Amino acid sequence: MYQVLYRKYRPRTFADVIGQPQVTTTLKNELTSGRIAHAYLFTGTRGTGKTTCAKILAKAVNCLDLQNGDPCGDCEICRGLDDGSIMDVVEIDAASNNGVDSIRSLIEEAAFTPASTKYRVYIIDEVHMLSTAAFNALLKTLEEPPEHVLFILATTEVHKLLPTILSRCQRFDFRRISPEDIAERLIHIAALEQAELDHEAALQIARIADGGMRDALSIFDQCLGRSNHVTMDVVQQTTGIADQSYLSSLANAIVQKESAAALETIAELYQGSKDMNRLCEEMAEYFRNLMIIKTTRNPSQILLLPESQLQDMTAQAIGIKLSLILHALDTFEDCMGRMRFGHARTEMEMAFVRLCSPELDTTPEALLRRLEALETRAPTQAPVSVNRPAVSTETPSSIETQQEEPAIPIQASEPTVKPKSASKNLSIEELSASAEPFDQWQDILRAIKSYSSSVAAAFDGSSAFVSSDYLLIEAPQFAFDLLKRPSQRERIRDSVKQVTGQTYKLGPYKKPKKDDSGSADPLDELEQRAQEAGFLAE
Ligand SMILES: Nc1ncnc2c1ncn2[C@@H]1O[C@H](COP(=O)(O)OP(=O)(O)O)[C@@H](O)[C@H]1O
Ligand SMILES: [Mg+2]
Ligand SMILES: [Zn+2]
């Protein structure tokens, strides 16, 4: 007969319990030193090992040949408890026996010494479900438990317990198990089942299970029903999560403001009976991942995405502004709430249309996003040169001012936006004097890192400024030595282009000497920039 995996692989010793060292180490110490309490409380989310540890503890307190705190599994008590011939460990599910009567009979029974063991153990699962009367009856016994009785209470909802109960128990909090730990255990079990489980697939299962080993094993069980070799595809088919490509193309549609494309994709998913609530959760998670990639140095430590996916998302994150990501996160969170009352598909579509047309959205997040777009656009409405030669031919030492690259201003079709003066006859000092900090430099460094971590390392701690059509870099000398190589320059320019959509010349930043003509009031400057962008145009 087939036994579901999570039952079949219930750990029988503390050593086999994963991810809960704060519980298992303490319990083993208490057992080896004989300091056993009379009431324990195990709390934490489901499927993290509460019932499992209760069973192990019940056996360990009675085992005749304790092995370093773990039950031996082989003495007559261990075997008797396993095969049911010894009945001094009583499990009660408070969810189904919550009345005062079942607790009363338990208490009456507790008065008698156990038949063949040292302790009679009562495991009361889901203890928060007990009725008030049952609670009170239990409380009296907990106040003065008989010497030979041990209570182990377990609950997922500790906040529902009375303080009087809490104060009488030694409490252990079970944590969510980390995705790596879950994945490792799954792979171990796969081998015992003579099945194959890919590492990425195991991580994906772990992420869906959200810290619970029982759920992870159930999902794995379902996957095995589909195929004996569980790959990422098998996990996706089994759990019905959207294929990553849907998520990234939906995110792209938002970036490109293509609401039609987004609506088409949603329609396709809907016809494929994709659950819209789930899609919304996935979109929120997707943007959360982008946020983390965008704001942390080592996203792989937090995210645990498959490597290929992390690379794709890093590339995507480079071209997306943080304000857009926050706007999207906010909109999807909001959408999840609305879906409870409205029509899920319509809500989903509205969220996308709003995100694709931030000008229709009056939330602060949308305004912030538009402001930021405006701010970065205004100062760089610099002339973009056309037909620029792909590889520059100047001598390597002359990167300071690349006068040999004539900047041909594009004929401005919109005379309202006055192009800033081209850099043609300005020295690097003059350019530096009017330069402004360039806020996308970190993105560019990330883009550089994606093709060479050593080049990126050379620019560690660097910063950059924009002046006219120049990107002025402040970096150690050896970074400039690298920049002198035309091939390197070209790649960095490509990265800049990739991030900003604009072509800049590269040069070194020269700190302006003090006593210049006195820099303008930043507010005046902001106003001027806004004017240039036509923002305040009368
Ligand atoms: N920490 C863990 N280590 C190994 N397996 C675990 C762990 N927690 C749960 N499991 C698996 O999940 C199943 C259910 O765990 P259980 O202890 O009943 O969870 P709960 O915390 O909900 O009481 C176990 O039979 C076991 O297969
Ligand atoms: Mg349980
Ligand atoms: Zn034993």
| CB-facing half-sphere around the CA of 195: CA atoms within 13 A | 24
> Is residue 91 lining ligand 1, measured as CB closer than 6 Å?
no
Angle at 91 between CA 88 and CA 96, to 5 degrees: 145
pLDDT for res 418: 37
**How far, in Å, CA of 126 to CA of 154, rounded?**
6
Burial of 151 from C-beta contacts in 10 A (0-12 / 13-18 / 19+):
buried
> Is residue 50 lining ligand 1, measured as CB closer than 6 Å?
yes
Looking from the CA of residue 54, the nearest atom of ligand 1 is: 17
pLDDT for res 200: 92
pLDDT for res 59: 97
Identify the nearest ligand to the CA of 184 by its number: 1
> Is residue 213 lining ligand 1, measured as CB closer than 6 Å?
yes
Q: How many helices (H) and strands (E) does the chain have?
A: 25, 11
> Taking a C-beta distance cutoff of 8 angstroms, is the pair 128, 155 a contact?
yes
**How far, in Å, CA of 16 to CA of 14, rounded?**
5
Looking from the CA of residue 6, the nearest atom of ligand 1 is: 27
Looking from the CA of residue 185, the nearest atom of ligand 1 is: 4
Identify the nearest ligand to the CA of 55 by its number: 1
pLDDT for res 513: 60
Ligand 2 midpoint to CA 50 (Å): 5
Ligand 3 midpoint to CA 20 (Å): 22
Identify the nearest ligand to the CA of 60 by its number: 3
Taken in order 405, 411, 415, 416, the sign of the CA dihedral is: negative
pLDDT for res 526: 57
CA distances from 427 to 154, 477, 481, 482 (A): 74, 20, 20, 22
> Is residue 11 lining ligand 1, measured as CB closer than 6 Å?
yes
> Is residue 51 lining ligand 1, measured as CB closer than 6 Å?
yes
pLDDT for res 310: 84
**How far, in Å, CA of 315 to CA of 310, rounded?**
9
Please name the residue whose Cα sits nearest to atom 20 of ligand 1.
Answer: 47
Q: Minimal CA–CA distance to 290: which of 255, 262, 308, 314?
A: 314
Ligand 1 midpoint to CA 419 (Å): 66
Please name the residue whose Cα sits nearest to atom 4 of ligand 1.
Answer: 17
Question: In testing the pocket of ligand 1, which one of 52, 55, 92, 210 has its CB within 8 Å of the most ligand atoms?
Answer: 52
Looking from the CA of residue 45, the nearest atom of ligand 1 is: 21
Please name the residue whose Cα sits nearest to atom 7 of ligand 1.
Answer: 49
pLDDT for res 452: 78
Ligand 1 midpoint to CA 13 (Å): 12
**How far, in Å, CA of 357 to CA of 343, rounded?**
21
Ligand 1 midpoint to CA 158 (Å): 18
**How far, in Å, CA of 29 to CA of 37, rounded?**
12
Q: Strand, helix or coil at 473? A: strand
Ligand 2 midpoint to CA 212 (Å): 11
Identify the nearest ligand to the CA of 72 by its number: 3
Structure tokens of 102?
A: 């079942």
Render 74-123 in DSSP notation, one character per residue: -SHHHHHHHHTS---EEEEETTT--SHHHHHHHHHHHTSPPSSSS-EEEE
Long-range interactions of 414-420: CB distance < 8 A, separation 24+: 416/534, 416/537, 417/381, 417/532, 417/533, 417/534, 418/532, 419/381, 419/382, 419/383, 420/379, 420/381, 420/382, 420/383, 420/468
Rg of the chain over all Cα atoms, to the nearest angstrom: 32
Please name the residue whose Cα sits nearest to atom 26 of ligand 1.
Answer: 10
Q: Strand, helix or coil at 359? A: helix
> Is residue 52 lining ligand 1, measured as CB closer than 6 Å?
yes
Q: Minimal CA–CA distance to 489: which of 464, 455, 449?
A: 455
E-only strand ranges, 360-412: none
> Taking a C-beta distance cutoff of 8 angstroms, is the pair 46, 6 a contact?
no
Question: In testing the pocket of ligand 1, which one of 51, 176, 210, 213 has its CB within 8 Å of the most ligand atoms?
Answer: 213
> Is residue 156 lining ligand 1, measured as CB closer than 6 Å?
no
> Is residue 229 lining ligand 1, measured as CB closer than 6 Å?
no
Per-residue pLDDT of the chain (538 residues; tens, 9 = 90+): 678 999 999 999 999 999 999 999 999 999 999 999 999 999 999 999 999 999 999 999 999 999 999 999 999 999 999 998 998 999 988 888 777 888 888 888 888 888 889 999 999 999 988 888 888 888 888 888 889 999 999 999 888 888 888 999 999 999 999 999 999 999 999 999 999 999 999 999 998 888 999 999 999 999 999 999 999 999 988 886 656 678 989 999 999 999 999 999 999 888 877 789 889 988 999 999 999 998 888 888 787 777 777 888 898 898 898 999 999 999 999 999 899 888 999 999 999 999 998 887 777 778 887 777 776 665 444 444 444 444 444 333 334 333 333 333 333 333 333 334 455 667 888 888 888 888 888 888 888 888 777 788 888 888 899 888 889 998 877 788 777 777 788 888 888 888 888 888 888 888 776 544 444 455 555 555 655 554 433 3
Looking from the CA of residue 174, the nearest atom of ligand 1 is: 21
Looking from the CA of residue 44, the nearest atom of ligand 1 is: 21
> Is residue 9 lining ligand 1, measured as CB closer than 6 Å?
yes
Tokens 């809907």 identify what position? 270
Looking from the CA of residue 125, the nearest atom of ligand 1 is: 23
Ligand 3 midpoint to CA 81 (Å): 9
Largest CA distance in the chain: 100
> Is residue 48 lining ligand 1, measured as CB closer than 6 Å?
yes
**How far, in Å, CA of 519 to CA of 436, rounded?**
11
Residue 120: φ, ψ to 5°: -95, 125
> Is residue 6 lining ligand 1, measured as CB closer than 6 Å?
yes
pLDDT for res 319: 85
pLDDT for res 522: 54
pLDDT for res 349: 95
Residue 532: φ, ψ to 5°: -60, -35
